[in-house]
Amino acid sequence: MELKIGILPPRSDMFPSLGKNLLDGFKLGTTDLDPAQFSFQFRIEGIGNAADDGTIRTAEKMILQEEVDVLLSFCSSYILERMVSVFDAYQKPLIHIDLGSNGIKSRHLSPYVAFHSLNVLQSAYAAGAYAAKTHGKKALLVASFYDGGYQHTAALVKGFTDHGGFIVNNYVGPMDYKAETYENMIQFIEASEAEVVFLLFSFKEGDKVLHALSQSALNGKLPFVTLPMLTDESFNHRNHHLQQVTSVASWSFDEMLPAMETFVQKANEAFQSPPNIMHLLGYELGLVITTLLKTYGNIPKEIVSSLQNLTIDSPRGILNYTSNGESQVDSYKVRTFNFNEVRYHNTVIDTMDSSLTATLHAAFEDVDYAGWQNPYICT
């Protein structure tokens, strides 16, 4: 059986090779399929910032002209409801891909639409809870102009305040960070009475922030709890010597889970370099499609009910899908950011059960989206 797989990757300054990484990961995740029984044709089209009508038009083209069996696509939370309505109308399966920095709403739910993410929203909540239990009850929120506008920020704060903490103050970085020295930010942190600092930065700006903090008197005096994008190994190459940096995520490439070790080994052999999170997303999607095909012999159009019957041993742990069609794993990893003279690692020091975030989507159901319209990491 030959299946047509549609993939709509956005443009990303953080991951300029996002589409290729996703596709390479997907292919790696389907190696257990018998090629004599199942093969794939790929239909791939870029969708820019994934935040306008072009995304929806391209998705409809994939259904009508390309006749894909399933579409894997990024899409802005702001237009997701309209995207879902297209797949409802045509009764075709869609897997919406994202890092998971915004919550999905009840208006997005459809028997034809599944949501596969790295659960950044949930892990941000867990990070807040961990900080309140471990570092103290007074936190300073220091956010990038770009990274602070997604719901992972509110989830981080909610996790902290739900467990007895409170935010003593907020700092937002400048829109033009390229000429920024971050002296004002450092002075702001020094003047606070915070016991822990939340850092919401990523990519090139994140590298500058890490360096500035490492050169300041704050280094070693305060713990920093971050989003996993700040400590992403593929962006960080120089050793900043910044101490006490912790993040919470649904993954760690250094975790000694058999499925993660297998994935990293396969990726190193196939790509001649360590995998990144786009490889991981693609690989998991490959595992999902593989499991669907092995179980049902095809990709069911009512994909949500089909996925609810599956349990997948993924690199992040045991993966399944909720009744809303959203991917979830069994735990979140508390990770320290450290350099071992060769490269950075996110070393797991603790885990938090995913049941901690069971009611998070209900809490965000009536909270409107704010900030940037494009999916997180797309620019």
What does each C-alpha distance from 172 to 141, 199, 324 come to in angstroms? Answer: 8, 10, 34
pLDDT of residue 379: 66
d(CA 304, CA 73): 16
pLDDT of residue 170: 97
- Per-10-residue mean pLDDT, the chain, length 379: 97 92 98 94 96 97 98 98 98 98 97 98 98 98 95 98 98 92 96 96 94 96 96 90 97 96 97 95 98 97 96 97 95 95 92 95 93 87
List phi, psi (to 5°) of 326.
Answer: -100, 135
Estimate the share of the chain in helix, then strand, then coil, as percent rounded to the nearest 5. 35, 20, 40
pLDDT of residue 166: 97
pLDDT of residue 378: 81
List phi, psi (to 5°) of 164.
Answer: 95, 0
Question: What six digits make up the tokens of 28?
Answer: 């790696």
pLDDT of residue 300: 97
d(CA 357, CA 366): 17
Handedness of CA 284, 102, 276, 97 (dihedral sign): positive
Handedness of CA 14, 215, 334, 350 (dihedral sign): positive
Kindly report the number of other CB atoms within 10 A of residue 241's CB atom: 12
What pTM does this model have?
0.96
List phi, psi (to 5°) of 152.
Answer: -60, -25
pLDDT of residue 286: 98
Which domains, and CATH codes, for the chain?
2-119+255-329 (3.40.50.2300), 121-249+338-364 (3.40.50.2300)
CA contacts within 13 A on the Cβ side of 363? 17
Question: What six digits make up the tokens of 358?
Answer: 């069971």
Task: Tell me the H-state helices in 145-230.
Answer: 151-161, 183-191, 203-214
CB 115 within 8 A of CB 75: no
pLDDT of residue 196: 98
Exposed/middle/buried for residue 47 (C-beta within 10 Å: 0-12, 13-18, 19+): buried
Q: Which helix (DSSP H) or strand (DSSP E) does residue 236 occupy?
A: none
Question: What six digits make up the tokens of 305?
Answer: 């009910």
CA-based radius of gyration for the chain: 20
Q: Where are the beta strands (DSSP E) in 290-330?
A: 312-314, 317-321, 327-329
d(CA 336, CA 250): 14
Question: What six digits make up the tokens of 347?
Answer: 């070393």
What does each C-alpha distance from 101 to 97, 120, 152, 331 come to in angstroms? Answer: 11, 5, 5, 17
